[in-house]
Structure 1
C-alpha cells in the first residue's frame, strides 16, 4: 500500500481538532503562512509551505484558535486538580530550534536533505514536557492511563474517585461537548487525505514525476516517483548514511529543476476546491463549530 505523506496525515488530525496528547501545549501553524525560515539562521533558505495553504486548511483550527483551546483546557484541568488538593501549573514547552520544512510532497528543503536525508529534522526540539507532578498525582491528571497499578475500573486518590480519563481528559471532553462536529470533521479529513491520493493520478503530476525521475537518473539514482526513496528500507534505520544524504539532496534539487512541488500543489488544490464545493454546507458548519468552540475557550481563559 502506498504510504501517505506524514504531513498529509497531520493535516487530517488538525481538521479533526486533535489536542496535544499530554496536555502541555503545542499547536498547529497559521493557515495563511506561506513561508518559514529553515534552520540555520536568517541567511538560511526560505521554505515554502504547502499543507497550510491548501484549500481544505481553511476548515482546520487557526493557530490562534488552537492556542485559545489549549489554554482553556489547562484552566479546566487546573480547576479539576484543585478539587483533589493538587496545585497544578502546565509545564512550559522547550523552545524549538527550528520548524521542520513542509513534507506533504516529500522532501522540500535542501538544507534538511543534506543534514538529515529522509529522516525527521532532529532540530525540531524534544517532545512536549510531562506535567510537573508527584508520581502519586499523575493518575489524577491522566486517569487510568497514569495509574501505576493498571486500574481497570476506578482510579481513586485519597478516597475520592478520579475521572476515567483524568482531569486533563475530562477538561478536553467538557470543552468539546456541544461544539465538536464529528460529521463535518470526517468530511474534511476525507478531502484532506483523498485529495493527496487523487493528485498522484493527475496527468500534470505524473508528467512531473517522469521529469523528476529523469533528473534523478542523470544524477545516478533510479526512482520512478518521490515516494520511492521515502519508503526505501535502507533509509529508515537509526542513522543517516552518506548515500541517503546524496539521494535526498538530488531529490530536492530535481524537484526544483522540474518545478514539481508547485505543479503538485496546484493540482491538489484544484482537486480540493472541487471536493469542497460538493460538501460546502457540511464544511461551513464545521468552521462555525470551530469558531464557537474557540469563543467558548476564550471565555474560560478570561474567567481564569
Structure 2
C-alpha cells in the first residue's frame, strides 16, 4: 500500500510550496514575510506511521542493536527550528480568509492529498492478517523462541509495548530485549511470513478499489507537480 498512502516524504515539497505562497500572500497584504529558520531543531517531523520497517515491531538489526525499541534519529528526518511569527503575521495567516487558507486553496483546491480508501485498506489488512492461520502460527513460534530466552510475550507487538519509550535513550535491558526479539524474528521467519500474508490481503483490496486509489494518486501527483514548480520558481 506504500504507493497509495500519504507519507511525510511525499509532502515535504508541498510544505515548502505552501510556505512560499503564504509569504507571497503576506507581502500582498503589506505584512512582512515569515523568515524560515535553519538553526538548531526545536521540532521534528513525525515518523512515517505506515513504514514497513516498524509495522511488526523493529526489524533493522543495526537500529535494534543501537536504539533498541526507540526510534532511530533518522526516522524523524531533517528537523528545522520553528520560525518566529509576529502577532501581525499570525493575524494575517489565520482564519478562513487568512493567507494559510488562501495558499492551501491555491495549491490544493478541491483535490485531496490523502486517500481514505488507502488508509482503510492499510488498517484492515493488518487487522485481518492477525487472524490468518499462518500469522498465528508464526507468532506462536516467535513466542516459543522468546520463552526459551526467558520472556513471556504473546507477540512482538506486546514486546514493543512493554518498552519504556519515554526515556531519551534505551537502557541495557531494552537493548537485550530488542536483540532477543530480533533474533527470534529471524529464526522463525516471522517478518517474511507476516508480510506475505498481509500483502496478499492488500492485493485483493487494491483490486476492489483500484479506481478510487488511482484517482487519489493522480490528484496527489498533480498537487505535488504544482508544488515542485512553485519551489523551483520561488513563488
Residue 179 of structure 2 aligns with which residue? 249
| Superposed displacement of residue 142, structure 1 | 5.5
Deviations 1:107-136 (A, max 9, x none): 112333333332333465685421144x43
Higher relative helix content: 2
| Superposed displacement of residue 138, structure 1 | 5.1
CA RMSD of aligned residues (A): 3.1
The answer to whether structure 1 residue 291 and structure 2 residue 221 are counterparts is yes
The answer to whether structure 1 residue 260 and structure 2 residue 190 are counterparts is yes
Deviations 1:31-54 (A, max 9, x none): xxxxxxxxxxxxxxxxxxxxxxxx
The answer to whether structure 1 residue 113 and structure 2 residue 64 are counterparts is yes
- On the 8 A contact 1:142/1:168 being kept in 2, the answer is yes
Residue 272 of structure 1 aligns with which residue? 202
Deviations 1:210-230 (A, max 9, x none): 111111111111112101112
- On the 8 A contact 1:94/1:129 being kept in 2, the answer is yes
Deviations 1:39-97 (A, max 9, x none): xxxxxxxxxxxxxxxxx22223588853442232122111122123313343348699x
Find 1:70's aligned residue among 15, 18, 21: 15
- On the 8 A contact 1:90/1:131 being kept in 2, the answer is yes
- On the 8 A contact 1:110/1:253 being kept in 2, the answer is no
Change (3 A) 1:124 1:281: closer
Deviations 1:180-234 (A, max 9, x none): 176xx111110011111111112221111111111111111111210111222x6
Length-normalised TM-score, structure 2: 0.80
Residue 172 of structure 1 aligns with which residue? 104
Cα distance in 2 for partners of 1:141, 1:93 equals 25
| Superposed displacement of residue 294, structure 1 | 2.1
Q: Which runs of 5+ in 2 are unaligned?
A: none
Residue 238 of structure 1 aligns with which residue? 167
Cα distance in 2 for partners of 1:124, 1:94 equals 17
Query: What does 1:88-103 correspond to in 2, within 5 Å?
Result: 88-92=34-38, 102-103=53-54
- On the 8 A contact 2:23/2:34 being kept in 1, the answer is yes
Give the 4+ runs in structure 1 shifted more than 6 A.
Answer: 93-96
The answer to whether structure 1 residue 130 and structure 2 residue 57 are counterparts is no
Q: Which runs of 5+ in 1 are unaligned?
A: 1-55, 144-162
- On the 8 A contact 1:255/1:261 being kept in 2, the answer is yes
